[in-house]
Structure 1
């Protein structure tokens, strides 16, 4: 998909010179069950994601996408292989060290938001700010997210798109180097999905946040630096895109 830009659309160049080796995965394998019930979900995955890249991961249901994301996030343990994030192999970390990795380096955005229902939008973001060494300014972040006038509302008082913006803000307030997104637009309508993708594009540009996005929306590949396809637990294709289409111009 290198150079893949639809005819007649505006495009933007990929930012020059991201540092290599930010996320390096080698020989990553994961299975579940024993004996005849054993299922090999990931089988020898190897991939490099550059610092500051938006990497999108496609694949049919059951191909191992969510398991891969959970392993990157330190939420599950690999059976074999290594996951090097910013020079640290998280597969070798203790449970306590993994907690520190998730606090310091990682942000996670879930499809169904996972907001705390009894906390306001601002308070949901503050939860993560309290565990960060140098958090972003919450007032500034709320304004950038378009949530300033909703900051005192509870999740059930705002739209799905506004809840997803809050989930992104909660992940971003820590200034994570790596943002993992599991179907971030899967529960949203077309218009709101476009708004969320434009927000994620701005986040990548403003903060240089490396992103790995699991999605079924094929249009997102056009705004991504790096496109992976997963099939039967293996990387079926691994390509980079040298001409990015702005999120506002995506259609599906």
Structure 2
């Protein structure tokens, strides 16, 4: 286990259904991730990746085990305390951008700024994300890559400690995917946030500090990467 982990998961279990059709999706997961790491989570469809992300994000309740984030066991939280955890600690980046179509790029980011106690400056984010020229446009007026940049900005503006990324390049072409991965790399270095990236793209492990792999609800790989390479250099 990682010394002084930022995210520590112990004995995590989760099942769906009941009786004879009850299916155990996660079967006692133990893992720890340090502050500032880029951690990539692999696994085939149905292996439990999205369930893992939802549990860490406080979107679903666990059956057993604990999830400690920045010293707080979130499995003991409910109601307003759980909402506060998501507001304070988390940023979400999804495969499908989930932007508000009637708001401009800038306004989509500003919406989440109002949720945070210590938000990042929107102008700085727009410049860092390469969105300054698009700030007054609506989502349907910019490219898919620019929409994903906006969704990253929306997640980042809260100044979260933890970014949960669910297939963030899954809907993008090869060139744009590499641009987004390079952007996420810069975000990690500039803002120091911890990232957990769920993906099917095995090449992303080369730009990651920490590699986790699920199979049938069991953690079958938990390795550190001592040879991290820049995102622009990875190929698939």
TM over 0.5: yes
Displacement of 1:20 in angstroms is 2.8
Is 1:85 aligned to residue 52 of structure 2? no
Q: Secondary structure in 2 aligned to 1:175?
A: coil
Give me the CA root mean square deviation: 1.0
1:115-138 superposed Cα distances (whole Å, 9 cap, x missing partner): 111111100100110111111110
The corresponding residue for 1:141 is: 125
Equivalences for 1:83-122 in 2 at 5 Å? 83-122=67-106
Helix, strand or coil: the match of 1:153?
coil
SS at match of 1:243: coil
Counterpart contact for 1:56–1:215, Cα < 8 Å? yes
Give the secondary structure class of the aligned counterpart of 1:69. Answer: helix
- The gaps in structure 2 that reach 5 residues or longer are none
Partner residue, 2:31: 47
The answer for unaligned runs of 5 or more in structure 1 is 1-17
- Shift of the 105–19 alpha-carbon distance from structure 1 to 2, 3 Å rule, reads farther
Match of 2:183 in 1: 199
Structure 2: how far apart are the matches of 1:212 and 1:139? 26
Higher-RCO chain (CA-CA 8 Å, sequence separation at least 6): 1
Alignment counterpart, residue 145 of structure 2, candidates 161, 166, 174: 161
**Is 1:246 equivalent to 2:230 in the alignment?**
yes
Partner of 1:124: 108
Q: What do the CA deviations read for 1:131-155 (whole angstroms, capped 9, x no partner)?
A: 1111111011001101001001111
Q: TM-score, normalised by structure 1?
A: 0.92
Aligned length, in residue pairs: 235
- Alignment deviations for residues 9-50 of structure 1 (CA, whole Å, 9 cap, x no partner): xxxxxxxxx973100000100000001110101010000000
For 1:247 and 1:160, the matched residues in 2 are separated by 19
Question: Contact 1:129–1:136 (CA<8 Å) still a contact in 2?
Answer: yes
2:159 aligned with 1:182: no
Secondary structure of 1:228 counterpart = strand
Q: Hey, what's the Cα distance between the residues in 2 that align with 1:96 and 1:37?
A: 33
Q: Which secondary structure does the structure 2 equivalent of 1:162 belong to?
A: helix
Number of the residue aligned with 1:225:
209
3-state SS of paired residue (1:204): helix
**Does the 8 Å contact 1:63/1:230 carry over to 2?**
yes
Does the 8 Å contact 1:108/1:179 carry over to 2?
yes
Q: Shift of residue 243 of structure 1?
A: 1.6
Separation (CA, whole Å) in 2 of partners of 1:30 and 1:96:
23
CA contact (8 A) 1:19 1:51 kept: no
